[in-house]
Amino acid sequence: MAEIKLPKLNKISTKPRKKKKKILLMSDDLRMHSGVATVSKDIVFETLNEYDWVQIGGAIKHPEKGKIIDMSQGLGEFGIKDGYLKVYPVDGYGNEDILREVLELEKPDAILHYTDPRFWIWFYNMESEIRRNIPIFYYNIWDDLPDPQYNTNYYRSSDLLMGISKQTYGINKRLLPDYEDWQITYVPHGISNRRFHKVEDDDTSLLDFDSKYGLSDKTFKILYSNRNIRRKMPGDVLLAYKYFMDELTPEQREECVLIFHCSPVDDNGTDLPRVHKHLCPEYDISFTYDVDNRPFNDSEMNLLFNSADVYINLASNEGFGLGSCEALTVGTPIIVNVTGGLQDQCGFKKDGEFLTPEDYVELGSNHLGTYTEHGEWVFPVYPTNRSLQGSPATPYIWDDRCQPEDAAVQLRKLYDLGREERKRLGSLGTEFCKENQMTSKVMGQNFIDSMNGAFDNWKPQPKYHMEAV
C-alpha cells in the first residue's frame, strides 16, 4: 500500500463548526475530466452546505497517489461556508487497506459509490464489514437491458440505490422488488449553470472561439463531444455526416462542418482522421483536440456548445449522456439514439404527459418507439438492430444500433429549419432541463432528499452472503 502522508495541521478556529453528516465518496477523482469526475464534483459542491465530504478519488496512474488534498479552505469562492472537503487520490480504484485507513481517519457516516461496480469488486466483498456500522449508497449508472441480474449482488449490497435515469430506476425496481420505497430513487444528472449557460451570438468570446478553430464562416456546425470509443459510434457519426452532405449542393456544403471534440486517434476507438481521409475528404471536419493538444477548460467547453447548431450522439448504449444535456442547457438542439438514459432527454410522452420513472418499471425501454410523442428539441433516431454483447464481467447487454442514414435524415431536417428556428427549439430544451430535474442544483437536492431518507430509515445490517447468479 502506498504511504498516506498526513497534511500539516491548519490553525484551529475557535468558532464551532456546524455538525454535519460526513459522506465518503468513492469514484473518479472530482478534479479530473471524465464524465464521472464531473458529476462527482457537482454532487459534492451542490451538497456541501448539508454534508461534509471525503473522497477516495481514482485515476489510472494517479500523479498524486498517497497524498491528502485538503480543499476545505478554498470553498468560500463558491459561496460555501464552513465546508469540509478532502480527496485521497489513489491509483486505479484503491484497495481494502486504503479504505480501512480512510474510514479510521475520517469516520464517515456513510459511503457513496458512483461508477461501474465491476471496477470495485474488492469494495463489495467488504460490504458486511461496512454495513454493520454505516450504510452504503450506490448511484447506479447501468444503461441498458436485459436487466443485469449478474449485478444484483452489488445492488443488494447497497442500502440506497439512486438511478441515473428512468430506465435505470426501472431496472432497480425490477431486480429488487422487496426494497422499500426510500431505498430506490430517481436522481438524474444535472448540468451546472456555472459552467454551461447561453452566450449571445455577437459575444466577443464566442466570435474569438470560432475564429481560433476555423468555424467563423460556418452556419451549420454539428458537434460530437464524446470519447472516441466503439460504444460511442464516432464512425457512424462521420458516416451520417457524409450521407447528409452528399445530398447538399456545393454551396450548401461550404456552410457545414462536423466538429469532433475527442482524441482523433484512440486505441479503444478508431483513427478518425484516416476514416475522414478515405470516406469523405472533400467535406470539412474540425478536430478541436489538435489545436492545443489539451482538454478544454469550463469556459471553452461552454463556448464549444454555444457555437454548435446541433449536437449528435449515436452511442449504442448510454447511461445518461452528459454531452446532449449540456447542449440542451445552452439551447442547442440534439440528435440522439433512443437508448439508455438518452431517453430521459427526449421528453417522451404518454397521453400527453412526460413518461415517469414508474412508467419505466413496466415499459423497460422506449427504444422500439412504444411512445413516439417527444419534445421539439430532440430529433430521435430509433435503433434498428439489437445485438447481445457481453464479456466475462458483463455477460450480456443489448447493443442498440441505429442507422447512419436515419441520422442523416435528421441532420437534413435541422439544416432546413434555419438558425432562428433551431435556436427556438433549443430554448425549449433548456426549459425542459430546468423543469425536469436536470440542473446540478436540483440534482444536489435530490441527493440530499434520498440520502437523508436513508439516514432516517437505515439500520445496521447483518452479514450478506454473496451468491453466484
Mean pLDDT value of segment 90-106: 94
User: 306 pLDDT band (50/70/90 cuts)?
Assistant: very high
User: 11 pLDDT band (50/70/90 cuts)?
Assistant: very low
Domains, the chain, with CATH or none: 21-190+443-457 (3.40.50.2000), 204-436 (3.40.50.2000)
If DSSP states are collapsed to H, E and C, what string results for 163-202? ECCHHHHHHHHHHCCCCCHHHEEECCCCECCCCCCCCCCC
| Torsion region of 343: left, alpha or beta (phi above 0 gives left; psi -120 to 50 gives alpha) | alpha
Residues 6 or more apart in contact with residue 353 via CB below 8 angstroms: none
Write down the mean pLDDT value for the chain: 92
- Inform me whether the pLDDT recorded for 50 exceeds 90: yes
Q: What are the pLDDT digits (tens) for 137-185?
A: 999 999 899 999 999 999 999 999 999 999 999 999 999 999 999 999 9
Predicted local confidence at residue 19, as pLDDT: 84
Bridge-based pairing of strands 353-354 and 349-350 is antiparallel
Predicted local confidence at residue 201, as pLDDT: 93
- Inform me whether the pLDDT recorded for 365 exceeds 50: yes
Residue 101's CB is within 10 A of a number of other CB atoms, namely 13
Predicted local confidence at residue 10, as pLDDT: 42
Residue 244's CB is within 10 A of a number of other CB atoms, namely 25
Give the dihedral of Cα atoms 292, 273, 306, 218; nearest 10 deg. 110
Residue matched to cell numbers 435524415:
409
Mean pLDDT value of segment 421-433: 97
- Inform me whether the pLDDT recorded for 18 exceeds 70: no
Predicted local confidence at residue 78, as pLDDT: 74
Bridge-based pairing of strands 69-70 and 85-91 is antiparallel
C-alpha grid cell, residue 157: 449490497
Percent of the residues in the chain that have a pLDDT greater than 90, as a whole number? 84
pTM for this one? 0.91
Predicted local confidence at residue 242, as pLDDT: 98
Mean pLDDT value of segment 200-208: 96
168, 141 Cβ separation under 8 angstroms = yes
Predicted local confidence at residue 1, as pLDDT: 42
CA-CA distance, 239 to 458, in Å (whole number)? 51
Q: What are the pLDDT digits (tens) for 251-295?
A: 999 999 999 999 999 999 999 999 999 999 999 999 998 666 678
